[in-house]
Structure 1
Amino acid sequence: MAAVVPLGLYQTAVHQLFLLSCSLIPGMLLRHRDLALQREISSAADHLAYTRAVAREMHDLVAYSMSQAALRAQRAAADSTYPAEAQKEFSAIAAAAVDALHELRLVLGPLRRGQRFWPNSSLTHPDALGVDLETAVQAISDDLAASGFSVTFHSTGDSQCSRLQAATLSRVAREMGANILRHGTTYQPVTITLARRPEQVRLVMTNGVSVATSHNLPASGTGIQGMRERLAAIDGTLATLKEGDTWMASATVPLSPSSSTFPETP
């Protein structure tokens, strides 16, 4: 004989089960979300610890080597037994090593301390953004000329870009110059053009290339991508072109009325 369950009790049980499910399901979802957040936080902490460890190792190893290079070049530059031209070259090497060491510390220092960079910038302090773009590009032109290239540098216009734009373009110019040193041939001239128009700033470098060019300079293979990423952060673009044995790289950054401003401190 089948048991008879009063309808009222059945409805009450269903209602209680419904209420129980309404409380359990959100709780389970919240616990799942909490566990996911904890995993993300743990992963971010591990990534930060790894980044700081790599930055520490890079700083200690590279800073030591750059310091040794700078000191030895400075001593050689002050040694009167060397010819005057050799002393001049040693002095330039020492200056380049000191400059590289300074920038290495600017970039890696905050990473070692777990600090964040300034928005859209690879630099760490607004004072470091005080870059005169024409002077920076002229310095690269001089370095290339000292390395045996025949260089022509043209600078036109007088429109001013922001300190962040100038700093970014100076970094891009350095990478362009480094590519010329690595892959260029001294048998063809190098042209550098810096055009500062009211609506944009454009930096163009052209040089000859040769498959026979040999050097012992290390190359990461990511220079062009790095330049594109730097420029994209300030709404700029990079164009490259190879025709025959001529290579051209062109960086363009748009200017705006607010280009002279600097992002607020985060």
Structure 2
Amino acid sequence: MKDRGTLFCAAVAVGVLVSGGLEYAMQDGLRESDRGPLIALVVLGTALAVALVRRVPSASLVLVWLIAISQAATATPFVLTQAAWAFIAFGLARWGARAVLWASVTSIAVGPVIAVGLIGRDLVWMDLPYASRNLFHVTVYELGLGRQIGAGVLVAVLLGMPWLGGLTLRILSRARIDLDLASRERARAEEIARAREAQTRLARDVHDVVGHSLAVILAQAESGRYLPDDDPSALKSALATIATSARASLGDVREVLSATGDTTDDLDKLIDNLRAGGHEVVTGHDGRPRPLPEAQRAVAYRVLQEMLTNAIRHGLRGGALTVRRTWSPDALGIEVRNGIEPAPGDRPAAPGSGLDGMRERLATVGGTLSAGVRAEVFVATARIPLP
């Protein structure tokens, strides 16, 4: 289907043909002259130039110059339908290539000077009957140099105004295209950023789930080395705990990968699972618990999970863990303590991606994390702001 610009140009071309026919029929001087066929060619050429200005602007510009030169060479009068040249000037600026754009503006500047200054007499004063000469009783040639220049400037302005209008629409159209491209690029960049963020979040969730379960499994496996050889029930209990932890870890990983992982704030269940694995956990509450929004629930669950993992991994074997949750009107505080091997001086926080991952996760909801050693006790405290 043709675009609207092409259809509009075709409609204007038909209008040029119709107006040219009416002008020829209504002007006695044109009918009585011996240049009727030439006038018909001028009208047809103008209509063709109008029709081509959308699809082939360069051909339209060439046609206009051929018509003007032919009129000058054959002394064919300028007809009113050639006012459609203003529409052609608009189309050349609106749809022409860069070369056509510069050629058209040069033509608008130079063409009127040539027409008025060099061949103005022939274009206006024709060998027509007296009645027709009354319409053109003063030639451009007879106006004098100053008025000739004024006439040329007037014609250039009359053609330049629609040309500037076409150029304005061309610039606006280009700006819309550039804006659309920029919008698409921005949307693509945002999509890539969201994908990378999702990948990072997925990697962090898998790290938290697998790291927590492996820490429990490792603790149980190491404790099995110290079980009496003549107590198979204790060994079976340790193996059962390892199997339970591994099964739970596998389920958590499946939930994370399927994007349907549990993001409830069931922190007690997380602690109970750790106790079922043979770890001693002391819990405490301050303040009045209340439901958490979705984002805060997920962060609280994963952060406590990572805190417990670090406590098991870096704490005393068999030592008790302390978990305290503090509810205030504007935040939830989670503190995990565990003893470490005695050593002189303070120790820095345990290295690795766990603490960094917790900080990044907390930052998504405006939370903070502090971690360090206090009197041979490693303390990690998370603060989660609440709406």
TM band (smaller chain)? 0.5 to 0.7
C-alpha deviation, 1:46, in angstroms? 11
Name the CA distance, whole Å, in 2 between partners of 1:138 and 1:198.
Answer: 27
C-alpha deviation, 1:204, in angstroms? 0.6
Name the CA distance, whole Å, in 1 between partners of 2:307 and 2:193.
Answer: 35
Name the CA distance, whole Å, in 1 between partners of 2:358 and 2:385.
Answer: 16
Larger proportion of helix: 2
Secondary structure at the residue paired with 1:6? helix
Amino acid corresponding to residue 302 of structure 2 in structure 1: R
Matched, 1:132 2:278: no
Equivalent of residue 359 in structure 2, options 208, 218, 228: 228
Name the CA distance, whole Å, in 1 between partners of 2:291 and 2:352.
Answer: 29
The answer for the alignment partner of 1:94 in structure 2 is 243
Give TM-score scaled by structure 1 length: 0.59
C-alpha deviation, 1:235, in angstroms? 4.1
Matched, 1:186 2:335: no
1:105-124 paired onto structure 2 within 5 Å: 105-110=254-259, 124=260
Q: In the alignment, is the contact (CA less than 8 A) between 1:175 and 1:223 conserved in 2?
A: yes
Matched, 1:27 2:173: yes
Q: Which runs of 5+ in 2 are unaligned?
A: 1-112, 118-148, 218-229, 344-349
Equivalent of residue 104 in structure 1, options 245, 249, 253: 253
C-alpha deviation, 1:172, in angstroms? 0.9
The answer for the alignment partner of 1:116 in structure 2 is none
Q: C-alpha deviations, 1:184-215, integer Å up to 9, x for none?
A: 33386543222345554321112344699xxx
Larger proportion of strand: 1
Equivalent of residue 377 in structure 2, options 232, 246, 257: 246
Indicate how the Cα distance of structure 1 residues 223 and 151 shifts in structure 2: closer, same or farther if over 3 A, else same: same
The answer for the alignment partner of 1:176 in structure 2 is 307
Indicate how the Cα distance of structure 1 residues 38 and 106 shifts in structure 2: closer, same or farther if over 3 A, else same: same
Equivalent of residue 289 in structure 2, options 159, 163, 166: 159
Secondary structure at the residue paired with 1:25? helix
Name the CA distance, whole Å, in 2 between partners of 1:47 and 1:102.
Answer: 26
Q: C-alpha deviations, 1:205-234, integer Å up to 9, x for none?
A: 12344699xxxxxx9933223223333444
Q: In the alignment, is the contact (CA less than 8 A) between 2:316 and 2:340 conserved in 1?
A: yes
Q: Name the % identity.
A: 24
Which of 227-236 and 14-23 deviates more? Answer: 227-236
Secondary structure at the residue paired with 1:185? coil
The answer for the alignment partner of 1:12 in structure 2 is 158
Indicate how the Cα distance of structure 1 residues 166 and 207 shifts in structure 2: closer, same or farther if over 3 A, else same: same
Query: Relative contact order (C-alpha < 8 Å, sep 6+): which is higher?
Result: 1
Q: C-alpha deviations, 1:69-110, integer Å up to 9, x for none?
A: x9xxxxxxxxxx982222222222222222222222222224
Q: C-alpha deviations, 1:121-162, integer Å up to 9, x for none?
A: xxx47xx3444323323433554x53xxx6533344442232
Number of equivalenced pairs: 210
Q: Which runs of 5+ in 1 are unaligned?
A: 71-80, 111-123, 213-218, 257-266
Indicate how the Cα distance of structure 1 residues 189 and 82 shifts in structure 2: closer, same or farther if over 3 A, else same: closer
Amino acid corresponding to residue 26 of structure 1 in structure 2: L
Query: CA RMSD of the aligned region, Å?
Result: 4.3
Larger Rg: 2
Amino acid corresponding to residue 235 of structure 2 in structure 1: A
Indicate how the Cα distance of structure 1 residues 224 and 208 shifts in structure 2: closer, same or farther if over 3 A, else same: same
Q: In the alignment, is the contact (CA less than 8 A) between 1:155 and 1:195 conserved in 2?
A: yes
Matched, 1:201 2:332: yes
